[in-house]
């Protein structure tokens, strides 16, 4: 071979990321593997036999050896991350060949395609620390959950962290409105409604509107009012794989999609106005959320009714107190001007969010 190339024709040394090494001369199998790599966003290096340069074999993050090339790989250095791949479902000699080359496992296509795409995508995206994922939910309507969710995301982005804000409430009017970004280019939830399998994390991030230094997944102005649970699962999993922080604004009703979101949270914040009826309603919300999410914390929001304070609210709900959401003078005027909540680092809301992230990220190593 004159020189190895990635599947898009660029020299291997110019590949944007280290992709898997494919070893096969089976044209049909190679077509399938290249298709799976493309689905995973990976750029493989292809050889008909073990590369002459040992470094290509030893440094590849993943090696896909075709059945036809297994015999030629017997003398290669033993290492992890070698997969033997083929089409023949009934070949009795496949396990012997796998042992001879030290393969981690044997994969038969098309049955193993979904699993293999996930494995290749892990290689393409890297396997770093997942994003710290925080959900915000209102104890009653108008509690201020969306305001807090936006402020947390804006504050995290201002601190230099990779940040994604996910609007999980179809009836909330669209979080992009709080940024004045209704017309910003990028995909919205309806574009992901059919997502079921793995969503490429990098492609997700790049496809979303960039507002105030963070990525926002919101709703369009159409009539769609549901998120399929499979789409919520796939999209949030992709968002988390990019690292940094993910903030999710959640509805109070716990449907299947919301349950999928709750299952991926590291912690949740329940925003509770300091009114007796609001506390009673929040208790029901906390009970439902607590069936899925272990770490749920109360955020009290004044003004306070007589005999009510933030600690009393947390005690009634049986939740740890995350803090008191401060009043934000001029908030409505800022929103009308397209200035999102939390935009001012020294504002009461900005200081609250900064303090929250300092506590939440302590020891997490999130950047």
**Contact between residue 137 and residue 250 where contact means Cβ atoms under 8 Å apart:** yes
47 compared with 327, residue with greater pLDDT: 47
* pTM of the entire predicted model: 0.74
What is the pLDDT, as a whole number, of residue 201? 85
**Contact between residue 272 and residue 282 where contact means Cβ atoms under 8 Å apart:** yes
| Mean pLDDT within 163-189 | 92
Which tens digit of pLDDT belongs to each residue from 239-265? Answer: 998 899 999 999 999 999 999 999 999
Instruction: Tell me the residue length of the chain.
Output: 367
Which tens digit of pLDDT belongs to each residue from 285-339? Answer: 999 999 999 999 999 998 888 888 999 999 999 999 999 999 888 898 988 888 8
How is 186-243 classified by DSSP, letter by letter? S--GGGGTT--SPPPHHHHHHHS-EETTEEEE---SSS-----HHHHHHHHHHHHHT-
**Contact between residue 34 and residue 5 where contact means Cβ atoms under 8 Å apart:** no
């Amino acid at each position: 071979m004159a020189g190895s190339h990635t599947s898009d024709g660029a020299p291997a040394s110019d590949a944007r990321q280290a992709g898997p090494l494919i070893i096969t001369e089976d044209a049909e199998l190679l077509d399938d593997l290249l298709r799976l790599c493309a689905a995973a966003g990976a750029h493989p290096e292809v050889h008909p036999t073990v590369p002459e340069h040992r470094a290509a074999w030893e440094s590849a993050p993943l090696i896909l050896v075709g059945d036809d090339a297994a015999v030629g790989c017997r003398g290669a250095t033993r290492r992890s991350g070698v997969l033997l791949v083929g089409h023949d479902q009934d070949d009795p000699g496949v396990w012997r060949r796998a042992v001879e080359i030290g393969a981690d496992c044997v994969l038969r296509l098309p049955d193993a395609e979904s699993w293999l795409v996930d494995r290749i995508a892990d290689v393409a995206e890297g396997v770093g620390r997942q994003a710290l994922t925080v959900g915000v939910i209102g104890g009653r309507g108008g509690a201020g959950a969306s305001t807090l969710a936006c402020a947390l995301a804006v504050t995290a982005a201002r601190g230099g962290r990779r940040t994604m804000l996910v609007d999980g409430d179809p009836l909330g009017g669209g979080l992009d409105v709080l940024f004045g970004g209704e017309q910003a280019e990028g995909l919205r939830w309806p574009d992901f409604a059919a997502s079921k399998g793995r969503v490429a994390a990098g492609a997700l991030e790049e496809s979303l509107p960039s507002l105030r230094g963070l990525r926002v997944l919101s709703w369009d102005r159409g009539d769609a009012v549901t998120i399929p649970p499979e789409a919520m699962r796939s999209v949030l999993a992709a968002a988390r794989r990019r690292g940094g922080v993910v903030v999710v604004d959640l509805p109070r009703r716990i449907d299947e999609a919301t349950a999928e979101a709750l299952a991926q949270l590291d912690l949740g914040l329940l925003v509770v106005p300091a009114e007796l009826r609001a506390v009673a309603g929040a208790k029901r919300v906390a009970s439902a959320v607590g069936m899925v999410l272990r770490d749920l914390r109360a955020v009290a929001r004044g003004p306070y009714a007589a005999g009510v304070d933030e600690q009393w609210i947390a005690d009634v709900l049986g939740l740890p107190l995350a803090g008191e959401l401060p009043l934000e003078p001029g908030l409505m005027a800022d929103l009308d001007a397209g200035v999102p909540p939390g935009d001012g680092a020294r504002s009461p809301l900005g200081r609250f969010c900064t303090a929250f992230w300092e506590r939440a990220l302590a020891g997490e190593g999130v950047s």
